[in-house]
Amino acid sequence: MPLPESRTVRLLIAVAAEAEARAVLAAHDADPALASIGWTRHRIGDARDLVVTGVGKANASGAVARTAGEAGSDMVVSLGVGGALPGSDLCIGDIVVADRCVFADEGLASPDGFEPLSSMGFACAPGLVDENVPSDVETARRFLSLSDATVGAIATVSTCSGTDERAAEIAQRTGAVAEAMEGAAVGLVAHRLGLRFAEVRVISNTTGRRQNQIWDLPAAFVRFGAVLGRT
């Protein structure tokens, strides 16, 4: 659907966790108390709204479906932290914008490997497959500061990769450079509502064996301001 030219384009920024919401609110000099109020549209700028969804696909899809229409949104951005998958060469603080989002663990686990729902005849929506929920990189670049972002697939998982084997399998099977827990679900809702969508992640951690992971959430949250063009 083309973006309207006769009025201001409104973005709905969907974040999962309160800490992510606080980073967005700080970048817009908005009331930090709003971070604790979920599933409600918060106006944070002339053309920007925020919804705090809660973690995971069910929370994210429900919150966005509830608020996108009432906000008069034109585009939904799933923004949050994410984990770098092996082989991505991503570092803590790097920004990733998805060119596609992948439902990485919805399907059938069999002795012959993982089979996504779409290959079994159960596509996530008419015209879409689980492995290719579109994310609009070029439109996102119009409204966010993504000049130094890495473009690549982002895997949406219900179970995060806490072993080397799991992380390597997700990366190899999906072709994703990072993983998070909401993007494809938000993209699916936006698709069904006829809205533009993009997923943007700031790398906060590595994946693989949990004891060996590297984390820096505060550094990642600081980078939210750069994404939002507020630094």
Domains and CATH numbers, the chain: 11-227 (3.40.50.1580)
Instruction: Give the DSSP H/E element, type plus range, for residue 25.
Output: helix 18-27
Residues 63, 57: Cα–Cα separation, whole Å: 10
- Among residues 131, 132, 153, 149, the alpha carbon closest in space to that of 140 is found at 149
The pLDDT of residue 71 is 72
Residue 1 has pLDDT above 80, yes or no: no
Checking if the pLDDT of 32 tops 90, the result is yes
| pTM, full prediction | 0.96
| pLDDT tier for residue 140 given thresholds of 50, 70 and 90 | very high
pLDDT tens column, 41-87: 999 998 999 999 999 999 999 999 999 987 789 999 999 999 999 99
Q: In this predicted model, which residue has the larger pLDDT, 180 or 2? A: 180
